[in-house]
Structure formats: structure tokens, C-alpha cells
Chains A and B, each alone.
Chain A
Amino acid sequence: EPEVTQTPSHQVTQMGQEVILRCVPISNHLYFYWYRQILGQKVEFLVSFYNNEISEKSEIFDDQFSVERPDGSNFTLKIRSTKLEDSAMYFCASSEAQSGTEAFFGQGTRLTVV
């Protein structure tokens, strides 16, 4: 069964450093997403991406964040100047269509900022 894969599974970084979280969406999917989940809280939408550009982003997704699809398979989330409050699980997801279809989520990257 096809799946979304994320690497690394756990990332520890110093405050102020930059991190890149990587995702390989399902190959025939066209829509890609990043979500985050702070411990004990809900899964929050960050950004959606289609046709090599951002289609929607939340208030959380400010200038500190950026996304990229550097090649035909990877989808990355870059977080610059990490802060303690960026510590969370980050989930990548992909879907075949914009709406009305299931989203497939990866297993997440646990980011710990120290």
C-alpha cells in the first residue's frame, strides 16, 4: 500500500538553528500539506501546496517557514531561526484532489528545539 514517508523521525536542534523536514508524498498525488501538532494539542494546518506553489497557508506559517518541492518526489518544510515553541510533531500529507478525498499522512517528524 502506498504511503507518505517522512525523515527524520526525530530531530533535535539548538534554538536559532535552521531545520529542514523532508517528506516523500504518494507518487500520483498532486496536493501536499504540512501540519503540526504540539504535544497534547490538536493537529493544526500549516500550508497546502499544489502545482509548485503555495495554495493556502495559516497564520502560523509566517516568514520563518518555507516549503519547496526541489525535485519530482520530495516535499520539504524549512524552519528558520527555530524557537522553543516550534517543538512539535510535524506531519506531511498528500491527496489526489483538492477536496472530497482522503488525505494520507506520514508518521511525522518530532522536532525538539533546545
Chain B
Amino acid sequence: SQKIEQNSEALNIQEGKTATLTCNYTNYSPAYLQWYRQDPGRGPVFLLLIRENEKEKRKERLKVTFDTTLKQSLFHITASQPADSATYLCALDRDDKIIFGKGTRLHILP
């Protein structure tokens, strides 16, 4: 069955630095890969979607890469701020559903 691994449960980054989160998956590559943000007690909020034929996607301070050969996506937040502290979820967009990884808890330290 499809597995999604996000590199670490928690990540501490100094304010102003770039945070890089990793998502690896097994089995087949999805046509789309998505990243969501989840705050405690709240529902996931969509951030970015990247297609299998795209190498990179940017939105403001966010950047996502997608390497179907490595079966990996990297999610970058540049110039990180304490308000970026949250759990970030990698998600495979497959047919009639989105499958989520466990997420990485990101702490931006002031």
C-alpha cells in the first residue's frame, strides 16, 4: 500500500532562516502532490499543489519541489517567522482521495 514518510516529527528553525521539510513516498507516483498546514485543533489548510511534470512551484515565501525519480518532495519556507510554526502535511492526490503523511511539527524560534 502507499506509504508517505515525512522526515521528522518535529523541526526547530531559527527565525529568518529557511525551513526545509521532506516528504518521501513509496509505490507509484501520484499525478499531484499537495502540502497543507494544520494548526492545533484545526482542519488542514491548503498551501501548494505541484503536478508530476513540474519540478518546482513557488508561492510567496513557499517553494515546493517534486522529484518523481526519487519519489520525494521538498517544502521550503524562506525567511521563516514565528507565525509559520505549525504542522505541515504532505499529501498525495490520488483518484478519489487525498492521502496524508503524519506531518512535521515546525517550530520557528524567535
> Which residues of A come within 8 Å of B, CB atoms?
4, 31, 33, 35, 41-45, 48, 50, 55-56, 58, 89, 91, 93, 98-108, 110
Whether B31 pairs with A105 at a CB distance below 8 angstroms is no
Known: A99-B31, A102-B49. Contact between A45 and B43, CB under 8 A?
A: no
Closest CB pairs A-B (n = 8): A105-B43, A102-B46, A56-B96, A48-B96, A42-B102, A43-B100, A55-B96, A45-B97
B45 to A: closest C-beta gap in Å: 7
Q: Which residue of B lies closest to A46 (CB)?
A: B97
B side interface size, CB within 8 A: 24
Q: Which residue of B lies closest to A91 (CB)?
A: B43
Bound Cα distance A35, B43 (Å): 10
B100 contact set on A, CB distance < 8 A: 35, 42-45
B30 to A: closest C-beta gap in Å: 8
Whether A98 pairs with B46 at a CB distance below 8 angstroms is no
Bound Cα distance A55, B96 (Å): 7
- 15 other A-B residue contacts (CB within 8 Å) besides A33-B97, A43-B44, A99-B95: A42-B103, A43-B38, A45-B98, A48-B97, A56-B96, A56-B97, A98-B95, A99-B32, A99-B93, A100-B49, A102-B34, A103-B34, A103-B46, A104-B46, A108-B42
Bound Cα distance A39, B5 (Å): 19
In the complex, whether B89 has a CB less than 8 A from a CB of chain A is: yes
B103 contact set on A, CB distance < 8 A: 42
In the complex, whether B58 has a CB less than 8 A from a CB of chain A is: no
One of A41, A50, A91, A105 near B102 (C-beta < 8 A): A41
Whether B43 pairs with A107 at a CB distance below 8 angstroms is yes
Known: A99-B31, A99-B94, A100-B49. Contact between A42 and B43, CB under 8 A?
A: no
